[in-house]
Structure 1
Amino acid sequence: MSNPAFYPIGTPGQPWGAAERAEWLAKQTKHRSYAADVLSVVENLRELFDVTEYGTLNYGPEHYPLMAVRSRDWRDDLPVLLVTGGVHGYETSGVHGALQFLQQHGRDYAGRANLLVVPCVSPWAYERINRWNPGALDPNRNFRKNSPAGESAALVDLLEPLRDRVLMHIDLHETTDSDESEYRPALAARDGKPFEPGEIPDGFYLVDEAENPQPDFQQAVIVAVAKVTHIADADARGEIIGAPLLLPGVIKYPVKEWGLCAGITNAHYATTTEVYPDSPRATPQQCNDAQVAAVCSAIDYALAHRPA
């Protein structure tokens, strides 16, 4: 879009109604296949893991099974390690990083922990390379019981029995140039608010939980990822996407209060990764590798530093 201050749907200053949401939905087109890219890979993991369908999203004639991959040797006396990807479907390395982790390292923790991986929370959005679901809702502001976003409600229901058993939860995301050119302008238009330009950081960073900060945990992940790709610097204000820098490559949000995915459980260690796939200094494979490095380091730290 040449002028992100003006979004081509809706009337400036007025929140969208049903007509505007329908107009937005009509413009969304399918670019890739969840079945080919995700379900086929998950199917091949059945030999080593327990694969379950934890829900189905029905959007018109399209039906999307929601898949979870668990350790086959699940034991109630072991901690639960949770990995989620694809909350925002357009954040590609979140999905493929989660799958790559399962393929390369999923069996490394057998007998030490219970692994639960949900590689693609938002399959409709994955296919359309979009942030929202068909109702123009962001799943990552709606993780609560009986959520209006089906993607969020299904994951909350899956994790409800495990809320107090999860030791570590890492949620895999990206920050892209399209955040600034498309999704933030669309959000402002949807909500009838003015668009305020921001700055996209070049590099990897993490989002900590403001109510339960774990700086040593976050730092361990940053150190591991820095061996794979570059870490984002703060801007001239000492911030990343409007939040003060706590540590190199680390900011914090009120994750639970905002209904973000990393706050679904009461995990002692929780973080949200943000990879920058549009950087000239990073390839798509590097982005996937960075997500895998983040997952492995988060797990290793959590298992080595279990709270008493």
Structure 2
Amino acid sequence: MDQQVYAIGVKGQKWGEAEKAQWLNGQSVKRSYHDEVLVKILALKERFELEQYGALSYDVDRYPLYAVKSKNWDLTKPTILVTGGVHGYETSGVQGAIRFTETKAADYAKAFNILVVPCISPWGYETINRWNPNAVDPNRSFYADSPAEESAALIKLLADLGVEIFAHIDLHETTDTDNSEFRPALAARDAVEHSNWNIPDGFYLVGDTINPQDAFQTAMIEAVAKVTHIAPADEDGKLIGVELAQFGVINYATKALGLCAGVTDAKYVTTTEVYPDSPLVDDENCIVAQVAAITGGLDHLLSL
């Protein structure tokens, strides 16, 4: 696939404030964070502790940020972090985090403290966007003095919680709009060219290059394979241009890249990637795959 020309900016020149403003002016609300996410989170209040850990300054009433905690928090238990919606357009990440909380989290709370942050980027959820209104990618912004308030709010939540995270599972998707919209926009914003446009057809995981924890990743892939298909390698034996670590798994330098998966020093870390545009899946299958990844990982940890 050739480099696409984006409608905003001049090729070869990075965006300034005028281009970012033009981009923002083209965004619109396409679905309801309140109806599709908040209502489901608030319905959990009898079974879990809900913590509002902030609100996005773009509209503090419209975009409150919530975390869901298991009751009877016990500092002697390992703590599990599940995050979704870092990229708001990645629907099954948000809905998968909620579904896990609704259906499975209480069972695992017998052995673990469970912390679920279902939708880190609610503006992105409503506008179906990868970036925030400032044309910043929250999933490249998990570091000190973050330029993304979505990322900074999660960092503060975890600091205030003051516990060591044992495992972190971050739920994502890779969609066809990565090629039709988000990569061209990124290329235009940063005046760069992209050489890899492959979107894997199926589920895969991204582990941490420094701390891959291969058996943990294997357990999740095996669990997900029972409910949906795992992405095969491309003709070069890679996924999104990266060498396979094992079937269905690649590794990234999560901390160096500022990824959500690198926000803690957890021993066990992974990022899920679902492909919702595959002809082999539907929305429900994508949500079920996300839940299977979480439970497969937790079952592995329980077996250690």
2:246 corresponds to: 247
- TM-score scaled to structure 1, two decimals? 0.96
RMSD, aligned CA: 1.5
The number of aligned residues is 304
2:14 corresponds to: 15
Instruction: Deviation per CA, 1:6-57: give whole Å up to 9, x if none.
Output: 0000000000000000000000011001111111001110000000100110
Q: What secondary structure, in the 3-state scheme, does the structure 2 residue paired with 1:173 have?
A: strand
Q: Is the 8 A contact 2:3 2:193 kept in 1?
A: no
Q: Cα–Cα, structure 1 residues 128 and 160, in superposed 2: closer, same or farther, change >3 Å?
A: same
The structural deviation recorded for 1:4 is 5.8
State, as a whole percentage, how many aligned pairs show the same letter: 55
List runs of 5+ in structure 2 lacking aligned partners: none
Q: Cα–Cα, structure 1 residues 255 and 131, in superposed 2: closer, same or farther, change >3 Å?
A: same
The structural deviation recorded for 1:165 is 1.4
Amino acid paired to 1:134: P
- Pairing 1:224–2:223 present: yes
The structural deviation recorded for 1:75 is 0.6
Query: CA separation in 2, counterparts of 1:62 and 1:157?
Result: 20
Q: Is the 8 A contact 1:4 1:182 kept in 2?
A: no
1:5 corresponds to: 4
List runs of 5+ in structure 1 lacking aligned partners: none
The structural deviation recorded for 1:164 is 6.0
Q: Cα–Cα, structure 1 residues 208 and 3, in superposed 2: closer, same or farther, change >3 Å?
A: closer
Query: CA separation in 2, counterparts of 1:20 and 1:88?
Result: 21
Query: CA separation in 2, counterparts of 1:295 and 1:194?
Result: 35
Instruction: Deviation per CA, 1:49-72: give whole Å up to 9, x if none.
Output: 000100110116864110000011
Query: CA separation in 1, counterparts of 2:290 and 2:59?
Result: 33
- 1:157-306 matches, cutoff 5 A: 157-161=156-160, 165-305=164-304
Query: CA separation in 2, counterparts of 1:60 and 1:111?
Result: 37
1:87 corresponds to: 86
Q: Is the 8 A contact 1:169 1:271 kept in 2?
A: yes
Q: Is the 8 A contact 2:79 2:163 kept in 1?
A: no
Q: Is the 8 A contact 1:162 1:265 kept in 2?
A: no
Amino acid paired to 1:213: P
Instruction: Deviation per CA, 1:78-134: give whole Å up to 9, x if none.
Output: 110110000000000000001001111121023311000000000000001110000
Q: Cα–Cα, structure 1 residues 3 and 248, in superposed 2: closer, same or farther, change >3 Å?
A: closer
1:50 corresponds to: 49
